[in-house]
Structures are given as structure tokens and as C-alpha cells.
Amino acid sequence: MSFSSRVKDELSRQFSPARHCQIAEIAAIISMCGRLKYEKETGISLKIHTENVAVARKYFTLLKKTFNIDTDVAIRRNVYLKKSRTYVITIQNESDVVNVVKAVKLMDESGTLPGNHVMVSNMIIANSCCKRAFIRGAFLAAGSISDPEKFYHYEIVCSSQEKAEQIKQVIYSFHIDAKIVVRKKYFVVYIKEGSQIVDILNVMEAPKALMELENVRILKEMRNSVNRQVNCETANINKTVSAAVKQIEDIKYISDTMGLGNLPENLEEIARVRLDNPEAPLKELGTYLQNPVGKSGVNHRLRKLSKIAEELRGNKEEKL
């Protein structure tokens, strides 16, 4: 089971005790994946589609708990994709459909039934608890979340820009900065920041998924921290080794051209100490001197040797 499916499975078992929150969640579900259909023989029916069995169970239970109405559940299989199943929850009784649509305020005052791209009334999501239920319903109906082991991505796919803007604003009321992108004919509300995805899981009341994601984030941060430290240490070692190799080359060149005995006493001493200890760091080299000096003192003398070697090389080129 994917991480997204596990999140939806957990949310499908989360029921708000307050009826107004249940109505807010149903309103989001109907707005995102509900379809009103009119037939001469049976009248108006309301169909809600999902490909997730846990989500279908949630729809069925929510409608039963909130309105005490009977619904039909059908399973459709895509003939081209053998593993693809669609669960359809249908309210057949026209009076039940009208009661549901009125309760979720998707019907206007004149009694006109809404189209399939209707917005959820802000009256339904006035309370903070109802906003949580609304986001949960929208995510169950049209959302997904990536495996945090790979990357961080949370999204809800909307059929219209107005719906996307509404969901974005409701999410923003919890101080979470969602964005909208157009993907083909859809408008996608998405969050990419790991910490904000943790926050939205908390808003939707999915504590198990939240802890799982937090554990992955902690491990990732630890790995990244260790990698940065290793890379930093490796770079420092490479830098130290390269500097030591250059210092030894300069000292050997001086020895071959003018001889180390012709150097000032302090430079001759550090030159011989470096040749005897090619892998030692500067601080350690300073302790080997007759009159020990610190790291900066050793570095100063080695720079002088490097300058002398460069001058000797320059003089040789001029003679040539």
C-alpha cells in the first residue's frame, strides 16, 4: 500500500462527532467528485465516484451517519486497465438527494439544483473544525501525497480555478502556504515543503501518517547533515594534502637549486621538518621546531619558502 493510500485509509476512519463538521466534509466530497444525474424514470440521483475502497466506505458511512439514508454501492472495472476499479455510491431517492444538497447548501434559495462545478458555501466552513473536515473531504475525494522517502508533495486536483482558490484560502487559514498550478484542464492545489505537509496532516487529523512522515524527515536530515560533514572534511583533507604536496615540491626545488643550507636558519629548519613529516598538519609541524611556534607561524614560514621557490623558477626561465 502506498503512503498516499495509507493516509487515506487513516482519514477514512476519522469521523468528526459534530454534525456540522460531517456536513462540511460531505460538502467537499460532493463538490470534488459528486455528480447529479437526471433520468425520466427515476428522477434526480446523486453519484459519488472514487477509486479507493476505504474512501468509498467513508462516503457510505458519512451519509448514513449524517442523514440516515440508504445508498447503493456499485463497483465498475475499467476494461482497458484490469486492475482499475471505480466505486460508485449513489443516492437514488430524489427527496433524499434534495435533502442532502440543501443541507450542504449546494442548492440556492429558489430551489435550483447545482451544476457539477459548484462551490461550497462559506457558511458551511465558517468554523475552524469545519475547515479541517472540509480539507479532509477534499483530499479524500481528489488528493494525493507522495512517498516522503522520495520527495515531498501534497496536492488536491480541482476541476475549476474557483474551487482551487477556495481550498487554497481554507488551507491558508491554518498558516500553510499552498500554491496553485494548472495541469492540463485541471487546477492543482499543492504543497511541497516537508514541514508544511506535516502541518496539513495535522490539520486533517492523521496522526499516524504525520509521525511516519516526521520520522522520515528526521532520518533524511541526519543523513544530509552527515553527508555535509563528510564532504566538508573530505574537502579539507584534500586541501591540506594538496598544500603539503606543493610545499614539499617547493622545498625540494630550493634544495636542488640553491641548497637548504643557504636559507635563513628559521626557514631551513621548517623546510627540513616538513620533508621529514610530509603528512603532518601545520599545527603539529610547529611542535617539532627547536623553538615551537603556532600554526600561523609555520604557515608564514612555508609561504616564504614558496615565494623563494617561485623566484628561483622565474630566474631560471629568464636565463633560458
- The pLDDT tens digits for 208-261 are 999 999 898 888 888 888 888 888 888 888 888 888 888 899 899 888 888 888
Phi first, then psi, for residue 99 (nearest 5°) are: -60, -45
Ramachandran angles phi, psi of 206, nearest 5°: -125, 75
Q: What pLDDT was estimated at residue 196?
A: 94
**pLDDT tens-digit map of 17-52:** 999 999 999 999 988 888 887 777 767 888 888 888
Q: Are 163 and 32 in contact (CB under 8 A)?
A: yes
Confidence bin at 317 (pLDDT 50/70/90) = low
pLDDT of residue 86: 85
Could you identify the residue written with the cell 621557490?
309
Q: How many Cβ atoms from other residues are within 10 Å of residue 216's Cβ?
A: 17
Position 137 confidence tier, pLDDT thresholds 50, 70, 90? very high
pLDDT of residue 106: 73
Position 6: which residue type? Answer: R
Q: Please give the Cα distance from 138 to 130 (Å, whole number).
A: 12
237, 43 in Cβ contact below 8 A? no
Amino acid type, 218: I
Which amino acid is present at 75?
I
47 vs 112 pLDDT, higher one: 47
